[in-house]
Structure 1
């Protein structure tokens, strides 16, 4: 007899039609990121089973959203469906025949992460022939002290990791707003760079689209190209843009509005937004695309902070429901208009929220993700745990990211993926104990593992108050390295453009992959991209 509570199956053809018709659909890969990066449909969102509860409500906010799950045979999708239905999602299905069915229906698998945005960047360059200079050309300009400014459009923390010597941090959506202050002479060459290609292309093309008079170029292949050419990078720099000039703000607003209008961006107001947010039949994302410090100082209640450049670069991470509305917030308008212009070209339905006043930015502080409620749990402070660990009957399980675990963890703690708990228990591979303490960075994720761990072990489970951050704050001892890995380190895909220790063949292979994305887009046929 069939299980009436078992999730339904949804065919790849249904998903593809929804994409082509711009109807709401969320295709979710519940594997860990390193496995997701090996191959996935273009518009699949990666929400790993191990982190499902703490991510899904922000990324798929409407409970009636059609959600289709797959795992490439990893045995995770059914468990993910059960959890989603328990959380109240009402239209949850498994991808029929999984990724094999997707390929059989004519779908293409894309590797790496943020594939829609990276493919779109290549599409833009292919269509608009965005001007660029090779690393050797830029180095020659800098060496002879030509009239040139290099603007790094990555996040500030990425810029601090490594940067082109002399460059200034100007995250992507800030470019049009800040460029006149940073290159006041129209004869100054402007070089836009990121670590690879996408943000360099989008940033340079943003300035071109806005009609900036200066000669504008992307640094071809970014810091990867710079490194492959044998040139050194700086580390730990703090050069940033300053407050914008009033006349520059006015001109930037005119430029950005003109670009947004050309791209078909729509306008909305607070009253209409309230109606959309109350509508249970459709999804509306509200993103504040200003700089993080501006958001913290005051923001629209309910808006999620995502600087505009990162929203274009990582759209699949923030807006997992293809076909949803996106509404952008910015008190100056420029960042929202430029970001919206790109999202519209990426075939999103996008609006800019107009008519805002200072009073609308009434909420202070950081953003908190919407989370499912947890039942009351046993909790323990770091000082008490330190005493317990001198006894033989307490074991700590750490659910933080594996890189953070390796960097420093509670002595004796085992690192584990939450999605791996049942396998480990069945194999007798969980370390025995009379009681367990679970932790992660703040113990947010760890709290969702308590009931499962108690059921699997039959032992009491405690949550470390404040997590590993509280342990560190108490100046308690730490252990480094891969000392007790209970699960494989597949929780994160190491980007080939991260850090300064990536092998040259890996960097070149990444560039080669990006060069091939335009052909993959044509083969897949679901993107709907357009370029103004």
Structure 2
């Protein structure tokens, strides 16, 4: 365990040329209100569950960010037990980082969202305003409108008439989804990033159609006074026959050549995995159905649409190696262009179906951290024990607790577990793995017996329990897991939508020179 480092030293390491993982171990609400630009969220409530995926090499240098409250030291101890050998933390946490003159950024997925803004500025991605799109409809102009987000987000709200085709999939399945190469294609998301990336993806894939990003997406549509469509269910993505797969391969070949992307086989993957001095992420960018049908053992599912939009949900180690798995290679190649812009060293392994079930061995993996398995009890038994004086802690999301909870339960979260008397008996509610991590901390504080309530809210109601709820507890200041920053922008709060779009468009202006230098943006696929 390396110990504390000052903010200037931490910033220099983040801005340098070597691998480093900066993990912000505060809960989501605190992280989203302000964090170093390259800090990746890995909240202490889930630390041991998530860290090995984000930082899969035990020797990678890790820098932790907390609030200067001592949480980083506790997290460093946990990580050291998992085999991580170079764990340090910013002395004084995020407040000290800001106090040293460095910017704390609001929001989430900063590197990816900033990439979208930089691409619009440097690649001059064609865009269309909501008013122009509405005029096209009035004029009965021929065009296709696609929502570039996953089906679940599409169903919540979309621009009326849009078909769901997540980024990566539209170019791959173009021979089925597009009737010709002349009809204009408009892509939209909820805001900006995935629209910009979506339009750029189609250009990278070599589609001849004119493509446009809808300016400000569903939020821009709503801000114009127009109604969104809700509950539009997306059909399954169309399967590709031999001709469609062949066309996708041809586009992939062309992009691999134009962009100078590396392609490897299974032996090449094994060589990369055997290097103890470099971090390797192996990510399958295909659809969930394709991934479930078979992939390389140890690969992680990272659908192309979300990998580019939220890269820090999969990768914490800056400047690490990434291998993307695909069938024809087009989805992987498009994603690889954007990951290369973000500073990663990317290679592509195609025709993954042919090697499904094969495996690779990492040279320096961290140790597993199996959460404690607690004795299960019914919700009714948990309520009875709480009535008899035992401590009943609800570890679910604070908003879920506010809505309804077991009588006698109080809300808590791992970094702020209550003080307990030696020999205390407790009952925990919530995800079993999260409860198991909290239980370790509680036993370390002297707990004697800890049990876990089975089931979820629907099960408790079916069992006839009357739940408490509709309360303001925990208060906003205590609900550190909830990011209040324009959280209701998709629920009709137009002022929140306006603020969010202003925030997104202002990201590039907040970058310092070293943060801007992290991006390696190549030539525009839209030409001069």
Normalising to structure 2: TM-score of the pair?
A: 0.88
**Residues of 1 paired with 2:308 and 2:471: CA distance?**
35
Q: Structure 2: which 5+ runs fail to align?
A: 360-365, 524-528
**Is 1:16–2:12 an aligned residue pair?**
yes
Change (3 A) 1:494 1:185: farther
**Is 1:529–2:525 an aligned residue pair?**
no
Q: Secondary structure at the match of 1:425?
A: coil
Change (3 A) 1:245 1:321: same
Q: Which residue of 1 aligns with 2:419?
A: 425
1:69-105: CA deviation from partner (whole Å, max 9, x where unpaired):
1224343222221221222211011225644664577
Tell me how far 1:258 sits from its aligned partner. 2.4
**Residues of 1 paired with 2:233 and 2:330: CA distance?**
24
Q: Which residue of 1 aligns with 2:105?
A: 110
- For the Cα contact (< 8 Å) 1:13–1:105, is it kept in 2? no
Q: Which residue of 1 aligns with 2:165?
A: 170
**Residues of 1 paired with 2:396 and 2:311: CA distance?**
24
Q: Which residue of 2 aligns with 1:250?
A: 246
Q: Which residue of 2 aligns with 1:501?
A: 491
2:152 to 151, 154, 157: 157
- For the Cα contact (< 8 Å) 2:402–2:471, is it kept in 1? yes
Tell me how far 1:216 sits from its aligned partner. 0.9
1:43 to 26, 38, 46: 38
**Residues of 1 paired with 2:407 and 2:289: CA distance?**
36
1:329 to 306, 312, 325: 325
1:333-375: CA deviation from partner (whole Å, max 9, x where unpaired):
2211111121112221111113534352579xxxxx9950245
Count of aligned pairs between the two proteins? 514
Change (3 A) 1:362 1:167: farther
**Residues of 2 paired with 1:66 and 1:517: CA distance?**
27
Q: Which residue of 2 aligns with 1:343?
A: 339
- For the Cα contact (< 8 Å) 2:219–2:490, is it kept in 1? no
**Is 1:462–2:458 an aligned residue pair?**
no
Q: Which residue of 2 aligns with 1:366?
A: none
Q: Which residue of 1 aligns with 2:503?
A: 513
Q: Which residue of 1 aligns with 2:363?
A: none
- For the Cα contact (< 8 Å) 2:284–2:301, is it kept in 1? yes
**Residues of 2 paired with 1:390 and 1:414: CA distance?**
10
Q: Which residue of 2 aligns with 1:372?
A: 369
1:57 to 52, 55, 59: 52
Q: Secondary structure at the match of 1:203?
A: helix
1:444-466: CA deviation from partner (whole Å, max 9, x where unpaired):
10011113224446442112345
Q: Secondary structure at the match of 1:445?
A: helix
Change (3 A) 1:357 1:387: closer
Change (3 A) 1:106 1:420: closer
- Bigger CA drift: 459-468 or 69-78? 459-468
Query: How does 1:180-259 map onto structure 2 within 5 Å?
Result: 180-240=175-235, 241-259=237-255
**Is 1:76–2:71 an aligned residue pair?**
yes
Tell me how far 1:328 sits from its aligned partner. 0.6
Tell me how far 1:507 sits from its aligned partner. 1.3
Q: Secondary structure at the match of 1:299?
A: coil
Change (3 A) 1:518 1:499: closer
- For the Cα contact (< 8 Å) 1:289–1:305, is it kept in 2? yes
Q: Secondary structure at the match of 2:405?
A: coil
Query: How does 1:263-302 map onto structure 2 within 5 Å?
Result: 263-302=259-298
Change (3 A) 1:509 1:461: same
Q: Which residue of 2 aligns with 1:86?
A: 81
Change (3 A) 1:225 1:69: same
Tell me how far 1:299 sits from its aligned partner. 2.0
- Bigger CA drift: 191-200 or 265-274? 265-274
Q: Which residue of 2 aligns with 1:491?
A: 481
- Bigger CA drift: 190-199 or 338-347? 338-347
**Residues of 2 paired with 1:141 and 1:395: CA distance?**
62
Q: Structure 1: which 5+ runs fail to align?
A: 364-368
Change (3 A) 1:10 1:65: farther
